[in-house]
Amino acid sequence: MVNVDGSGGKGGLIQVRDLDKTYRRGGEEIHVLQGLNLDVSAGEFVAFMGPSGSGKTTLLNLLGGLDVPTRGSINVAGDEITHMSAGKLTEWRARHVGFIFQMYNLIPVLTAFQNVELPLLLTKLSKAERRTHVETALSIVGLTDRMNHFPRQLSGGQEQRVTIARAIVSDPTFLLCDEPTGDLDRKSADEVMALLEELVGSHHKTVLMVTHDPLVAARAHTILHLDKGVLVEGSKFPNSIPAGGVA
Amino acid sequence: MKFARIIWANLLRKKVRLLLTIGSFAVALFLFVFLAVVRDAFNRGADVASADRLVVINRTSIINPIPLSYRDKILRIPGVKAVTHNNWFGGIYIEEKNFFPQFVIDPENQRTVFSELVVPDDQWKAFLNDRQGAIAGAKLAERFHWKIGDRIPIKTTFYGGASWEFNLVGIYHGNKPQSDETQFWLQWDYFEEKVPERDKGRIGWYVLRIDNPDDAPRISQAIDDEFANSPFETKTQAESAFAANWVKQFGNIQRLIVSIGVVVFFTLLLVTGNTMAISVRERTSELAVFKAIGYSDRSVLFFVLAEALTIALIGGLLGMLLAIVAVPGLAAALNGLLPSIVLAPKMLAFGLVVAIFTGFLSGFLPGMNAMHLRIVNALRRV
Amino acid sequence: MAGKLVGFFFITIAAIIALLLILLVVFGVLAGVLAPFLGSVPVSYNFRSIRARWTSTIVAVLGIAGTVGVFVAMLSLARGFKATLVASGSPGNALVMRAGSSSEMMGGITLDSIKVLQDAPGIARDASGRPLLTQDVVGVIPVPLITTGTDANVQVRGVSPNVLEIRKFVKITKGRMFQSGLNELVVGKNAANTYRGLTVGNKIDFAGGHWQVVGEFDAGGSAFDSEVWCDSQIFNQVLQRPADVFQSATVHLASPATFQEFKDAVTSDPRMNVDVYREIDYYAKQSTTMTRLITVLGGLVAFIMAIGAIFGALNTMYSAVAERGREIATMRAVGFSTWNVILSFLFEALLISLLGGLIGCLAVLPLNGLTTSTMNFQTFSNVAFAFKITFDLLLMGVLFALVMGVLGGLLPAIRAAVQPVSVALREL
């Protein structure tokens, strides 16, 4: 269930109420988000769309605990993250969020294996245990044979899949993707989207994704538009593509 | 250390730069140790001076002689254990630039007073049995490749210009690492026999061993009082004071060396700090990703500091290795100009501390920058 | 035999490498300096890029400045020491010592020999026909230093009362010359500044006698400025030396050209056994040990620092290349040739190192003339000398900086120019 009018009630995985975010730029105050509400249940695949500067990335950053709102509350799996200190927030992110950015995801001097292992180094798992988790994650994304390659030896699509492996390796509560296919060609974009769909469908992950590409957005279950600081449901938005895609 | 792989991988990011920075560290630490060695060489006398030895010189001028007849009077002073005398021979071995100190010694008392300069008994016996016998310090013998049995000619300068010949019958070793092993000893009897009439019975200075170091002031005063108003007034000092004054005459050498050391330190800090800063600047987005996936701000600071310290340690150790290898060569280049040049372990330890300190400082600011990096700013799309 | 061949082989290789390096440096400096004229990359590009990466640039500049500063300072110290001792003495004076003595202190000349010397050909004479000759006795006397209060050995020289006519470069600047037969002293200007109590009008005890300081003299920056002079016969008495034996004699020659005539006459005279030197040559010899020490130490320090500075410069230039990868690739894609890119980088490296060199030289300039004193091993006495920074030394410093710049800039420049454009563009 996905709800944007604040009426979702308790029980959702993610619950956002009355979210405000204001920036100061060049002496002016810019109200990016104003009184935004959102409810998302577990297992949902949501796409956020909107014109440039609408605040999609800002929203994602707030949901992922990378930034703090000016006002409002964000509740994830029972934790109120707006009340957390920076240190606590860092720990929270490690446990609950998997990030997939548009680029610069992978550390170029580490192999695919080592990149995927990164989140696990923060845990108390033994080396053998870490190895098991990493291999599992890499097999889910279908890149077991590229384990020891460096990012520069992988294609764009493969890099993103390694990123996804890293995002899921510690079994986070949900995944946040910011333009995951923005830098990719059509074929690689398809691979990545298929993987995300599989994660939601077969592995019951929750995925929140920001994109400007309608074809990519169409692969999600729900499309939300960010407009004038709040979220609006897709069907009410004239520029959205119908679920069946384009002819 | 499970993070070692990340730190090491980051260092190897730009191999040329890594090598250059390590190189800078190595060079700077080498210079540091080198300067410490030189400074120590200038201070040498003061370091090995004994607390229970006194030096008696002519009060008027250090180059004026003192009568041999004073010895018995000095021995009678309570608290004096043994007295020996020396003359500065000042001769030339083949050419002037082969300079080394030559002393006329009093064999009877030499070993009691200078107990740290050790000669094997059989060699000492040969020395006593040969008026023309001479003993050389180990480093001196090594310098000229002398062996026991060699005939050593030395041209006098004070006493007429003739060449005196000596038989090398012994080699002495100092039992402290900083002992002076560059001296050449000849015997009083032979010397006294050959010098012109007007120079007979005259020694250069006395060195005495006293029973109790605390007695030094009293005994010094007693000696100087005894010979006050005589044609050869004396000045008696503890050996350490004498050596310290000698060093002070070199003036600002210390200050010069320290200032160079400081310049080196700051230059090093500048270069490595800048390198770390550039390396951190190149990686802002990567560091942001680290923070995003849950690495704390402090862990990022830790990564940067660890990198800086690794470079510092590798470079520092390399530099010190270079020093260990190069110091003997340096000693050869400065042959005879300074007393033995020695690389003491405490200088290496000091060098290591400086390396670590500099490494820490050079990584500190860039590390703090990395720590305070705001994720959202760093990840903002280009 | 084999050892010698191997040694020879290595020396040849080393010589070839050294020659190549020298050629490289010369080429680099020339190329870099002429770059604005030879190359087509505008110089404004370099200035802008320096400004954009000003922190790195400052680092490289300061690194080079520090090295050049130390280099010039150490060389000027050695120069100053040498100059002091070399300046001691005039080519128009000849020093006579007992044959075989390596320094005055070891010499001995009797009054009889002095009388023979006075009749030798080639000596200048004063208005009344007396030969211009001073018989000297030297000793070292302990006097407390002003700085530390501990004793240092000052060189005291007993001279003939008419010494100022022989050593014409010495002038009394305060008070008056000492009177013959009295316990009076005149002190060199450096000695007055180094030791306690050597001021005009002061009474001081030394060598077992009571003395009065009656004047101060300026000896033109020579070693004599660190000396104290008195009547040699009085000094002999005080030191309890034989009254008719001196340590050296210095004569003023009728002209510098008469030196050989004087020397030949004196050395062939069977009544004496002496060596004759031009005063200036004698003093040059006296400074060899200390000069060598300072030069070797200073040279080593400067050499080591230079390597460090080159590393620093290399680091900065490599970073420059790395940070400007895109610009360089664009430049080359647009059509600037490899050669032009190299020239441009070389010029930039030289600019930075020139700046560093100039700053380094300027920073040590205040040291010029600063006096310090140290003990001359060969004479056991304290000699005051000054840092002597000359124009050619500064020039050497700047050249040194340029060499460091070339060595630090050439490799990165080549790297920048040679990397395939596609690779460079892709590394964005």
Chains that touch B (3 or more CB pairs under 8 A): A, C
Query: Which of C70, C102, C380 faces B263 most closely, judged by CB atoms?
Result: C70
Higher pLDDT, C283 or B152: B152
Determine the topology of domain A42-57+85-236 in CATH: Rossmann fold (3.40.50)
Q: Is residue B244 part of a domain?
A: no
Does the distance separating the beta carbons of A99 and B296 come in below 8 Å? no
Chain C CA closest to residue B27: C308
* Shared domain check, B258 and B217: no
Mutate to test the interface with B, among C294, C315, C374 (most CBs of B within 10 A): C315
Which helix (H) or strand (E) segment holds residue A219: the answer is none
Q: Does residue B184 lie within any of the structural domains?
A: yes
Q: What gap in Å lies between CA C320 and CA B344, rounded to an integer?
A: 41
**Residue B352: inside a domain, yes or no?**
yes
Find all residues with CB under 8 Å of A205, minimum gap 6, and list them. A43, A168, A174, A175, A199
Predicted local confidence at residue B339, as pLDDT: 66
Same domain, B115 and B40: no
Task: State whether B92 and B222 are in the same domain.
Answer: yes
**Could you tell me the two tokens for C235?**
């000094």
Report the C-alpha gap between C93 and C84 in whole angstroms: 17
Q: Which residue of B has its CA nearest to A124?
A: B2
Q: Which chains touch A (3 or more CB pairs under 8 A)?
A: B
Q: How far is CA C421 from CA C320, C327, C344, C412, in A?
A: 17, 11, 17, 16
Q: How many other C-beta atoms lie within 10 A of the C-beta of residue B284?
A: 17
Q: How many domains does chain B have?
A: 2
What is the SS3 assignment for B48? helix
CA gap B182, B339 in Å, rounded: 7
- Are B167 and B130 in contact by the 8 Å Cβ rule? The answer is yes
How far is C-alpha B13 from the geometric centre of its chain's CA atoms?
Answer: 41
Structure tokens given for C332: 């080359």
The CA-atom distances, in angstroms, between A239 and each of A142, A193, A225, B13, B162 are: 35, 22, 10, 46, 115
DSSP characters over C137-205: EEEEEEEEBTTTSSEEEEEEEEE-TTHHHHSTT-EEEEE-PPPTTSSEEEEEHHHHHHBTT-STT-EEE
Q: Which of B234, B249, B254, B255 should be substituted to probe chain C, the one whose Cβ sees the most C Cβ atoms within 10 Å?
A: B249
| Residue contact B5–A118, C-beta within 8 A | no
Tokens of B350: 């000091």
Q: Is B264 on the interface with C (CB under 8 A)?
A: yes
Backbone angles phi, psi at C355, to 5 degrees: -60, -45
Q: Bigger pLDDT: C171 or B274?
A: C171
The confidence score (pLDDT) of residue A246 equals 45
Contact state of B290 with A118 under an 8 Å Cβ cutoff:
yes
Same domain, B114 and B157: yes
Q: Which residues of C touch B252 (CB under 8 A)?
A: 372, 374
> Nearest-CA neighbor of A231 among A207, A200, A210?
A210
pLDDT of residue C378: 65
In a domain, B52, yes or no: no
Task: Give the per-residue pLDDT at A196.
Answer: 92
- Please report residues of B whose CB lies closer than 8 A to that of C296: 333-334, 337
Report how far residue B106's alpha carbon sits from residue B95's, in angstroms, rounded to the nearest whole number.
27
In a domain, residue B55? The reply is no
pLDDT higher than threshold 70 for residue B252: no
Q: Which residues pair with B2 in a beta bridge?
A: none
Joined tokens for residue B163:
């060449």
Determine contact, residues B206/B56, Cβ cutoff 8 Å. Answer: yes
- Chain C's closest residue to B159, CA to CA, is C106
The helix or strand, by DSSP H or E, that contains position B234, with its residue range, turns out to be strand B234-238
C228 to chain B, closest Cα gap in Å: 14
In the three-class reduction of DSSP (H, G, I as helix; E, B as strand; rest coil), residue C404 is classed as helix
Could you say which of B6, B292, B375 has the minimum Cβ distance to residue A110?
B6
Sign of CA dihedral C70, C75, C76, C77: positive
pLDDT tens profile B280-316: 888 888 898 899 999 999 999 999 999 999 999 999 9
- For the segment B259-276, the average pLDDT, to the nearest whole number, is 81
- For residues B345 and B33, give the distance between their C-alpha atoms in angstroms, rounded to a whole number: 10
Rounded to the nearest angstrom, the gap between the alpha carbon of residue B180 and the centroid of all alpha carbons in its chain is 10
Domain co-membership, B157 together with B293: no
Q: Yes or no: say if B51 and B72 are a contact pair by the CB < 8 Å rule.
A: no
pLDDT digits (tens, 9 = 90+) for A142-195: 999 999 999 999 988 899 999 999 999 989 999 999 999 888 888 889 989 999
Judged by CB atoms closer than 8 Å, whether chains meet at C311 and B233 is answered as no
Nearest to A96 by CA among C30, B329, B277, B292: B292
Between A233 and B339, the higher pLDDT residue: A233
Q: Same structural domain for residues B193 and B94?
A: yes
Put simply, whether C315 touches B (Cβ < 8 Å) is yes
Residue B54 lies in a domain: no
pLDDT at B382: 40
Residue in chain A closest to B12 (alpha carbons) equals A109
Q: What are phi and psi of C111, to 5 degrees?
A: -65, -35
Pairing of strands A45-49, A207-210: parallel
Q: What are the C-alpha distances in Å from B94 to residues A16, B144, B183, C215?
A: 97, 11, 16, 44
The two three-digit tokens of residue B90, written as one number: 């000042």
Is the CB of B2 less than 8 angstroms away from the CB of A127?
yes
Q: A87 touching B, CB under 8 A?
A: yes
Which stretch of A35-49, B41-55, B85-99 has the lowest confidence by average pLDDT? Answer: B41-55
C chain contacts of residue B36, beta-carbon cutoff 8 Å: none
What is the dihedral angle through the alpha carbons of A223, A224, A227, A231, rounded to the nearest 10 degrees?
170
Please answer whether residues C380 and C293 qualify as being in contact, where contact means their C-beta atoms are separated by less than 8 angstroms.
no
On whether both B329 and B369 belong to a single domain, the answer is yes
- Token representation of residue C290: 């200390």
Is the pLDDT higher at C332 or at B214? B214
**Contact criterion met (CB < 8 Å) for C140 and B63:** yes
Chain-centroid distance of CA A237 in Å reads 23
Residue B149 lies inside a defined structural domain of this protein? yes
> Which residues does B contribute to its contact with A (CB < 8 Å)?
2-3, 5-6, 9-10, 12-13, 285-286, 288-297, 375-376, 379, 381
**Residue B221 domain-assigned?**
yes
Of B198, B232, B266, which one is at a domain's C-terminal end? B232
Query: Residue C106: enclosing H or E segment and its boundaries?
Result: none
Same domain, B106 and B209: yes
Tokens 């030069």 belong to C295
Q: Is A94 on the interface with B (CB under 8 A)?
A: yes
Minimal-distance CA residue of chain B relative to C154: B61
d(CA A130, nearest CA chain B) in Å: 11
| Rounded-to-integer distance, Cα A6 and Cα A3, Å | 7
Beta strands A97-100 and A174-178 are parallel
Q: Which of B2, B7, B18, B289 to mutate to test the interface with A (most CBs of A within 10 A)?
A: B289
Same domain (yes/no): B34, B85: no
Residues from chain C that touch B264, judged by Cβ atoms under 8 A, are 66, 305, 308
My answer on whether B139 and B203 are in the same domain is yes
Other Cβ atoms closer than 10 A to C279 = 22
- State the amino acid at position B321 in one-letter form: L
The pLDDT of residue C18 is 76
Residue A246's contacts (CB-CB under 8 Å, 6 or more residues apart) are A214, A215
Q: Single out the residue of B34, B47, B38 nearest to residue B348, CA to CA.
A: B34
B261: Cβ contacts below 8 Å, ≥ 6 apart = B31, B32, B35
With CB atoms and an 8 Å threshold, state whether A104 touches B5. no
Q: Which of residues 48-77 of A touch B (CB under 8 A)?
A: 57, 61, 64, 66-67
Amino acid identity of residue B328, one-letter, is P
- Pick from C321, C60, C311, C349: nearest CA to B274: C60
- H/E run at residue C10: helix C2-38
Q: In the structure, what pLDDT confidence band is assigned to residue A244 with cuts at 50, 70 and 90?
A: very low
Assembly ipTM: 0.84
Range of the domain at B156: 60-232
Kindly list the averaged pLDDT for each block of 10 residues, start to end, along chain C of length 428: 73 80 77 74 77 79 84 81 74 86 78 86 86 88 81 87 88 92 91 87 83 91 87 85 86 88 88 87 76 75 77 73 71 76 81 90 86 70 79 89 81 73 58
Residues 6+ apart with CB under 8 A from B266: C66
CA distances from B191 to B58, B110, B201, B285, C98 (A): 20, 16, 10, 82, 21
* Positive or negative torsion for Cα C361, C362, C366, C368: positive
Which has more pLDDT, B248 or C140? C140
The helix or strand, by DSSP H or E, that contains position B219, with its residue range, turns out to be helix B216-226
Question: How many angstroms away from the CA of B130 is the closest CA of chain C?
Answer: 28
- Smallest Cα distance from B77 to chain C, Å: 25
pLDDT at A247: 43
Whether residues B147 and B172 share a domain: the answer is yes
Residues paired with B233 in a beta bridge? none
The distance from CA C216 to its chain's CA centroid, rounded to whole angstroms, is 26
Query: By C-alpha distance, which of A234, C85, C372 is closest to B256?
Result: C372
DSSP summary character for residue C135: E
B256's enclosing H/E stretch is helix B253-282
Please tell me the predicted confidence (pLDDT) of residue B42: 76
Instruction: Let me know whether B36 and B81 are in one domain.
Output: no
Average pLDDT, chain A: 87
CB-CB neighbors (< 8 A) of C375 in chain B: 246, 249-251
CB–CB contact B6 A107 (8 Å): yes
